[in-house]
Structure 1
Amino acid sequence: MTENEKKLLQAKHRLEEAEMRDRQKERKARTRRLVQEGAILEKALPQTTQMTLEQLEDFLCEVFKPIR
């Protein structure tokens, strides 16, 4: 393997690592946002804490159903 091939491979690996870090940051930011939104939902509608996910989805779909 030539020196240029080694450098190219190293650059490729550095780019892949940077992309992985970016994806991980995005995942953590999304998780944080979802947790915060869930906390707001529970604070605004305390009865939702006793619901299953399916019940919560049905409830929210019914409450926010578009008027036709």
Structure 2
Amino acid sequence: MTDFICSCCGRRRSSRQMIVLGGDKLCYACSEEYTTLCDHCGERVYRRDARQVNSRTICPQCCGQILKKSH
């Protein structure tokens, strides 16, 4: 196994502890702190990009789909 550098904290980690989000490689700790799962599609997304719609955490892609359906 090879190591990687976490895109968030900059620490060297074992690749067994890697979560890939877009082009970023995150360690488990940063993944738990900075990301969440979309309640609609289940994809991992940065918390800063997620939206709250009807008390659900929604990724930008699903948010666009949900808003289109409601109009």
TM bucket, shorter chain = under 0.3
Name the one with the larger helix percent: 1
Higher-strand-fraction structure: 2
Q: TM-score, normalised by structure 1?
A: 0.26
Greater RCO (CA < 8 Å, at least 6 residues apart): 2
